[in-house]
A and B are shown apart, each in its own frame.
Chain A
């Protein structure tokens, strides 16, 4: 099946710094990518939808100035956590949609996740 990679897999940073996470679709083009956040022992929460060549769409309650998303190409989306604080520590997961024939829904492939720890 299709592969989605994330880099880095682990990052530790100091409070106040910014962290960039990359999400790449390795063997298909993804016009749409999604960013999720997962807290320990909780479900995945959709943060934003990233569309190639246009602005991301953020879910209610997600600060767009804090979580900057850029989808510059059909295979790469980046999430930058700006001025990170300890409460931003979490597991961030991206997914890429391979648009198929199933009513436009296609198949969504998930990356392995990036664990962020802010000290």
Chain B
């Protein structure tokens, strides 16, 4: 069965600091990997996704993620965090012919200090 683990429930960073959110997955075949952000009152917004090709993926809002097959990881990074990045972040995995079916991690809440 597929699963996603986000080890950090809550992360606090200062504005302008770098950020890395961890994601580990378990999937029996080639995974499709996603990062979503959820803000209160808004739907999940896709930050970036990895299907194949270059293992370093660029997303919106200055985020990037790197797929490391050997470590079963897909960590999200941002070089300089803005106060507006405070939200909850979800990593998700899917793949194969189960079009659209996603398994989500537990989420990481990001707090940004001024």
A-B pair count, CB < 8 Å, reads 58
Residues of the B chain whose Cβ atoms lie less than 8 Å from the Cβ of A42 = 106-107
**Cα distance A113–B102 in the bound complex, in angstroms:** 17
Q: Which of A49, A99, A102 contacts B51 (CB 8 A)?
A: A102
Residues of the B chain whose Cβ atoms lie less than 8 Å from the Cβ of A41 = 9
Q: Which of B45, B99, B100, B107 contacts A43 (CB 8 A)?
A: B107
Chain A interface, number of residues (Cβ within 8 angstroms): 26
The answer to whether A112 touches B43 (Cβ under 8 A) is yes
| A residues at B contact (CB < 8 Å) | 4, 32, 34, 41-46, 49, 93, 95, 97, 99, 102-113
| B residues at A contact (CB < 8 Å) | 9, 32, 36, 41-46, 51, 90, 94, 97, 99-107
Top 4 closest pairs, chain A to chain B, by CB: A110-B43, A110-B44, A97-B100, A43-B104
